[in-house]
Structure 1
Amino acid sequence: MTTLPDRPNTALLVIDVQNGVVAGAHRRDEVVANIDTLVGKARAEDVPVVWVQHSDDQLKRDSESWQYVPELVRRDAEPLVHKNYGDSFEDTDLEALLAERGVGRLVVTGAQTDMCIRATLHGAFVRGYDVMLVGDAHTTEDLSAYGAPPPEQVIAHTNLYWTWESAPGRRGGTVGTAEVSFAAVAED
């Protein structure tokens, strides 16, 4: 259903699962294990896995906190997108990488739910992609000291509102790791 012509393929996005980003994240180990399962499934189905890695003043490039968690290992042939903004498309080569691969549908995982995950979901959606959020494969840290709800509520709310996201010619949705299908969804 994507509005991007001639782009029937799906890609798995693994966003910012870096040591410093997920160190104190809600259900960190479970989320990382779910992402690892999805990476394995995507590889087995010859679906592109695209890794996204954030850097900024608090997350210095090449530092230990900037590195991906050791449980997730990127293959050399899998693209790595470096970003400095929440939306993984903003000022990066992500769009070009996806276009090269004929991708019009994204399966999104990673961290942090209330920052880079939400920004990328919306960024992809407004650019014409179908965007599926894996509800048990994204996480965030506890920012309740700053007025945010507890992480489990942030995650639940994001899963809830993304479940029914739709617009002309494209759709969103939320699915669990076990239900992920990398096959394109037929048009209604």
Structure 2
Amino acid sequence: MNRDRACLVIDMQQEDGFPLHGFARVIHNNARLLEALRQAGIPILYSRHVNAADGADLPEGEPRDAEGRPQSYRAGSRQVEILAALAPRPGEPVIDKPRYSAFHRTDLDLRLRRQGIRTLVVSGVLTDACVLATVQDAFALGYRVELIADACTSTTGAAHYAALLIMANWVYAIELFATEQYLRALRGEPFASCRPTAPDSFAHQPAAFAAAIARLESSLGLQRREQE
């Protein structure tokens, strides 16, 4: 399973400006995932969201402090560093990005193509911001995506699942996994995953949002968790 694959861990940083839904569980799942990927010989890359310390390159509307500096992910601060529990090993690249997508104004695409990578394993935060933007760009650039759904999160469970459903509906080259199921796949064991076969596979009306989440979790082999 490790041929022409690489894993991208998105923005698992010290930044504490956002309360993240179930973050301890997501850190644990990323740690398990990384250990298994390293044992399987699958290359690992990291991205960090880093804003210029003086705020010179911030997009319009990005929050600033009273001095005009970025309120979050400010270069040179502790907040931009990768969490110690998930720290890169020697030889695992860290790609700094100024926008949501890890492909925007970085050399990520070039790095992957030089290694012959065609499938990108994705985990990290925030599901509805940097993960979503990166996955959409990966799809546009011709990569297959294996998204580890419970190794991602956002500020709320609703935001996390809304982004998962968007990706399941419209990123045609995606397969979604729970961490445990992906580890089974790495070991060559039977596993469950969600590989949508038609556009808008999880179409739903607002009142049916919870039911759509339940369908997605069921396809991933996860038991339905009470929304926090």
TM-score, normalised via structure 2 length: 0.67
* Aligned mates of 1:11, 1:108 — CA distance in 2: 9
Q: Which residue of 1 aligns with 2:206?
A: none
1:21–1:110 CA distance, 2 compared to 1 (3 A): farther
* Aligned pairs for 1:65-84 within 5 A: 65-84=79-98
* Aligned pairs for 1:30-109 within 5 A: 30-56=25-51, 57=70, 58-109=72-123
SS at match of 1:19: coil
Range with bigger deviation, 68-77 or 40-49: 68-77
Q: Which residue of 2 aligns with 1:118?
A: 132
* Aligned mates of 1:62, 1:121 — CA distance in 2: 27
1:122–1:166 CA distance, 2 compared to 1 (3 A): closer
Write the letter of the residue equivalent to 1:162. Answer: M
Which residue, 13, 18, 25 being the options, matches 2:13? 18
Cα deviation, residue 74, structure 1: 0.4
**Do 2:46 and 2:88's aligned partners in 1 also have CA atoms closer than 8 Å?**
yes
For residues 44-84 of structure 1, give each alpha carbon's deviation from its aligned partner in whole angstroms, at most 9, with x where no partner exists: 00001011011113311231111111211101201111100
**Do 2:6 and 2:45's aligned partners in 1 also have CA atoms closer than 8 Å?**
yes
* Aligned mates of 2:163, 2:171 — CA distance in 1: 15
Say whether 1:157 aligns with 2:170: no
For residues 14-37 of structure 1, give each alpha carbon's deviation from its aligned partner in whole angstroms, at most 9, with x where no partner exists: 000111157621111100110111
1:166–1:155 CA distance, 2 compared to 1 (3 A): closer
Range with bigger deviation, 17-26 or 51-60: 17-26
1:175–1:164 CA distance, 2 compared to 1 (3 A): farther
* Aligned mates of 1:117, 1:182 — CA distance in 2: 22
Segments of structure 1 that go 5 or more residues without pairing to the other structure are: 1-7, 142-150, 184-188
Number of aligned residue pairs: give it. Answer: 165
Flag the structure with more relative contact order, 1 or 2, with Cα contacts below 8 A and sequence separation at least 6: 1
1:98–1:78 CA distance, 2 compared to 1 (3 A): same
* Aligned mates of 1:173, 1:165 — CA distance in 2: 12
**Do 1:21 and 1:65's aligned partners in 2 also have CA atoms closer than 8 Å?**
yes
Q: Which has the higher strand share?
A: 1
Identity within the alignment, %: 27
Q: Which residue of 1 aligns with 2:150?
A: 136
Q: Which residue of 2 aligns with 1:174?
A: 176
Cα deviation, residue 85, structure 1: 0.8
- Of structures 1 and 2, the larger Rg is shown by 2
Segments of structure 2 that go 5 or more residues without pairing to the other structure are: 52-69, 188-228
Write the letter of the residue equivalent to 1:133. Answer: L
* Aligned mates of 1:140, 1:67 — CA distance in 2: 18
Give the root-mean-square deviation of aligned CA atoms.
2.0
**Do 2:132 and 2:167's aligned partners in 1 also have CA atoms closer than 8 Å?**
no
TM-score, normalised via structure 1 length: 0.81
